Amino acid sequence: MVLMAPVAGAHTVMMTQVLVSFTKPGTLDVKIDVDLTLLLGTPDRYYELATAPLQRQQEDVKVLAPQVTDNLQLFVGQQRLRLEFRGFTAAKAQKADYLDASMSKLSRFDFVAALPASGEPLRLVVPLGAQVDYPVAYTVQIPARHSSVTRWLEEGVHESEPFVWVDELGKTSQLVLYLRLGFRHIVPEGTDHILFVLGLFFLGITWRKLLSQTTVFTVAHATTLFLSTYGIFRLPSQLVEPAIAASIAYIAVENVVKSTLGIGRLAIVFGFGLLHGLGFASSLSDIPFPKRDFVVALLGFNFGVDFGQLCVIGLAFLAVGGLRNKPWFRPRIAVPCSLAIAAVGLLWAIQRIIYYGTHA
């Protein structure tokens, strides 16, 4: 199943986004970014809609807009807001991307809603059976106060926490929310990062060696994650993604030709950590971070990633760590597993080079 992982979607976060903005007194601007494959039934139908002549597209969108608002309902207290449709922007992608379930293809619906005078808290409700992709990123902004807060609705959660919009909410902590998101970005979504961590595991199956490698890797990826997120240093995905896949293959091959961990390995892990940090940062471009408590949210995401990596190592240690002192462990387990990881990493590198070469 690993071989069937997405070619270039290693850092794609499939989601639905709801952005609510208190831009004018008494009204709400609502932007909903959603993949319409579920509503339309097939990827081909979605592509037809996105590329249809304007008049035909508008006719279809008028039918879809009420379905979108039925799937994502806004309430003030117990009163459901009536969202008035204002505009539509279709996803811009190649036809192959529409057919690839791993690629994010979000179309935007613009709505406006009148606020009731009650001043009760605002909440988002996703009814049972709603045709939306999870998680749902629900962001509320009050531009006049420079305030922004994001709630994440995971699969199975059908209602957000209430947002008290008549008061400043700015002190709400984002740490726990982004810890969970960072963890999820590794387990279960980060297949390439899982393989890289397993590659580290098979050359250093003692806690001291494992922690030295993962600490170096963590420091490195945290460095470029912050630099890239703040716009100080970035590299295009067409360079980063194939290089990440190649780093998986390199580490795994090194496990086969070397039997001990040296200072050179740590230097290589640090370099690859810098590279993986750029990969993490590329995924954040699709994730709404709050303007307020931004550093807290970014730290939470980073620590969540680290916890995910430690979880992978812990599970691997429980599975085969007890056999590490057996004389046959290296030839029968470590080397074959490393060769399998190297093969997958090399395959991904080739696939990603081809993908970005044909989608340039």
pLDDT, tens digit, 9 for 90 and up, residues 312-355: 988 998 998 888 888 899 899 999 999 999 999 999 999 989 88
- What burial class does residue 93 get, using C-beta atoms within 10 Å of its C-beta: 0-12 exposed, 13-18 middle, 19+ buried? middle
Sequence spans of domains, the chain: 2-172, 179-358
The pLDDT of residue 20? 94
pLDDT higher for 21 or 188? 21
3-state secondary structure 178-205: HHHHHHHHHCCCCHHHHHHHHHHHCCCC
Cβ contact 169:163 at 8 Å: yes
- What burial class does residue 200 get, using C-beta atoms within 10 Å of its C-beta: 0-12 exposed, 13-18 middle, 19+ buried? buried
pLDDT, tens digit, 9 for 90 and up, residues 244-299: 999 999 999 998 988 777 788 888 889 998 988 888 777 666 565 655 566 777 78
Pairing of strands 136-142, 16-24: parallel
* Closest C-alpha to 45, from 64, 28, 17: 64
Cβ contact 206:316 at 8 Å: no
Asked if the peptide bond before residue 188 counts as cis, ω within 30 degrees of 0, the response is: yes
The pLDDT of residue 286? 57
pLDDT at 183 over 90: no
pLDDT at 226 over 50: yes
Q: Locate tokens 């959660």: which residue?
A: 157
pLDDT at 168 over 70: no
3-state secondary structure 236-289: CHHHHHHHHHHHHHHHHHHHHHCCCCCHHHHHHHHHHHHHHHHHHHHHHCCCCC
pLDDT at 5 over 50: no
Percent of the chain with pLDDT over 90: 35
Q: What are phi and psi of 10, to 5 degrees?
A: -60, -30
| pTM of the model as a whole | 0.57
